[in-house]
Structure 1
Amino acid sequence: MFLTDTMRGYRGVKYTLFFFCYCFWVVSAILIAVGIYAKVAKEKADVVDTLTVDPALLLIVVGLLMFLITFLGCFGALRNATCLLKMFLSILAVVLVLQVAAGAVTYVLTDLVMERTEMLMMKAVVRYREDRDLENAIDFVQKKFQCCGVENYKDWSRNVYFECSESNPSLEVCGVPFSCCVHLQNQTVLNTMCGYGMQQQQEAAARQHIFTAGCLQRIVLWAQKNLLLVAGLTAGLLLLEVCMMGLAAAQAAWIHRVRRRQKVSEG
């Protein structure tokens, strides 16, 4: 009876670990596929990357790492391979430590992180229209958070197309992208010229037509309002990783125990 209960417990540990690893394995395959698709689409469109890190390449790298790590867990759990389970456990422990360390560094160096984030966002504003993926990402952020620019709507003067100067030959001189515009509820036709000349207006007047608040401020406010949600998701992910480590350690220990008993009985 005790042996039967022990086997049931072992099988529960084994297949629970396999299930978790398989779920992450599927997610990693999706990330790789999305990254490859985005990379191929960008190359066909002859788009030049303007950010420090190519998002498509980042998806592929993260997906490959997840694929390899979860493969070790899946195969090790099914085949009762203690060496693979130990490798999986060790790599997951390193990833967990790095995640905690990154969170601690981010918390301690909040001002530096904010400064770097502002620099990256300003660089994205400058490179707008040079990268289609970047352009779509900025438009999405400005629509989602109802913001314009990094600190305010006049940041768009840093872009060559929207630069507010008499020597600028662009039709969009002193303007902002259409994603900054305030859209009425009953508006059915998108006016892509609604942001033209908005930088020449004072903030009170411009606020009637466009969002004037900066995206950095809006994103920080969103993060503060949803701090519990973000913390909960992060804690849940870390807890899941700890559970997978515990399952891998339990299965490896059980396999060692069984093999030790076999050696004793044979001796």
Structure 2
Amino acid sequence: MTGYRAIKYTLFICCYVFWVVSAVLIAVGIYAKIAKETDVVDTLTLDPALLLIVVGSVMFLITLLGCFGALRNDTCLLKAFLGILAAVLVLQVAAGVVGYLFTDVVMERTDRLMMKAIVRYREDQDLENAIDFIQKKFQCCGVESYKDWSQNVYFQCSDTNPSLEACGVPFSCCVRLQNQTVLNTMCGYGQQRVEERSARQKIFTAGCLEKIVWWAKNNLLLVAGLSGGLLLLELVMICLAAAQISWINKVLRQAGSKPPRNDSLSYPAFGNSDE
């Protein structure tokens, strides 16, 4: 029964690792949500904290089924885990195929989503930090260009805008000098009034959508490797769950007994597999 135990505990360890990761995601999301003010963005697509909670909760429930199903030899839980994980895998593959076939539609939807994030830049601290991180990481500004920041009420470039940041861009758009130690948070002030050639000397003028797509194309092997690795891990867990279910049913048939009506069988957590 060594092979059975290897399948059982390998599946349990994999599920347990993802279960711990999901619990951490939920904790971070709840902490970030509580730390916010009450009147902030609460939509799933624009609230990183809420997104962490939702993704973490889904992972938590799925991996919990896998953990208990594998440890207790419960075919009902294992089948539920296998079915949900298989559905998630199919949805991921379908999303990838649809994204590849309808690239223009995906790019258009992404453009709209990013523009909404710019409009709500100052309404959510987590969203603001996420945008600043992206602009610093990819050395970009706005969605298509630095002038997209005029869509935000604080940076809107108009004579009637009373904001001190009118016609400016966030400091995360600024080009940092090599030996600069003190961050100048006012470096983006008034840069929307400047022509792109002149503005390029102080801020990043290229849009983030273009930079992200360019990065993905130049790191295609890395992106494909990470995506393929995740799909492969999910497929391995599905195969392990199917193998454990098959082995349990085989033991029942050899013992000459029929499974209960609920199609579940629970053994002691660390009992012998031939019990």
Provide runs of 4+ in structure 1 moved above 4 Å.
Answer: none
Structure 2 residue runs of 5 or longer lacking an equivalent are 258-275
Letter in structure 1 aligned against 2:67: C
Letter in structure 2 aligned against 1:145: F
**Of the candidates 1, 7, 15, which is equivalent to residue 13 of structure 1?**
7
How many equivalent pairs are there? 256
Distance 2:241 2:160 in 1: 66
2:15 is equivalent to residue 28 of structure 1: no
Displacement of 1:130: 2.1
- Once the two structures are superposed, residues 190-232 of structure 1 have per-residue CA deviations (whole angstroms, 9 ceiling, x without a partner) of 1111111111111111111111111111111011111111111
Displacement of 1:57: 2.2
**Of the candidates 192, 196, 220, which is equivalent to residue 185 of structure 2?**
192
**Of the candidates 118, 129, 141, which is equivalent to residue 134 of structure 2?**
141
Displacement of 1:52: 5.3
Letter in structure 2 aligned against 1:48: V
Residues 154 and 50 from structure 1, CA distance in 2 versus in 1: closer, same or farther, beyond 3 angstroms? farther
Distance 1:165 1:70 in 2: 52
Structure 1 residue runs of 5 or longer lacking an equivalent are 1-6
Letter in structure 1 aligned against 2:7: V
| Aligned residue runs from structure 1 range 101-180, under 5 A | 101-180=94-173
Higher helix proportion (structure 1 or 2):
1
**Of the candidates 94, 98, 110, which is equivalent to residue 91 of structure 2?**
98
Residues 171 and 184 from structure 1, CA distance in 2 versus in 1: closer, same or farther, beyond 3 angstroms? same
- Once the two structures are superposed, residues 14-35 of structure 1 have per-residue CA deviations (whole angstroms, 9 ceiling, x without a partner) of 1111111111111111111111
**Of the candidates 50, 53, 57, which is equivalent to residue 64 of structure 1?**
57
Displacement of 1:47: 4.1
Letter in structure 2 aligned against 1:172: E
**Of the candidates 201, 205, 209, which is equivalent to residue 212 of structure 1?**
205
Displacement of 1:55: 2.5
Identity %: 74
Displacement of 1:51: 4.8
| Aligned residue runs from structure 1 range 184-263, under 5 A | 184-263=177-256
Q: Give the TM-score normalised by the residue count of structure 1.
A: 0.91
Bigger RCO of structures 1 and 2 (CA < 8 A, at least 6 apart): 2
RMSD of the TM alignment (CA)?
Answer: 1.5
Residues 150 and 101 from structure 1, CA distance in 2 versus in 1: closer, same or farther, beyond 3 angstroms? same
Letter in structure 2 aligned against 1:25: W
Distance 1:81 1:167 in 2: 67
Distance 1:63 1:41 in 2: 18
Letter in structure 1 aligned against 2:79: K
Letter in structure 2 aligned against 1:21: C
Contact 2:86 2:238 in 1 (8 A): yes
Distance 2:42 2:151 in 1: 16
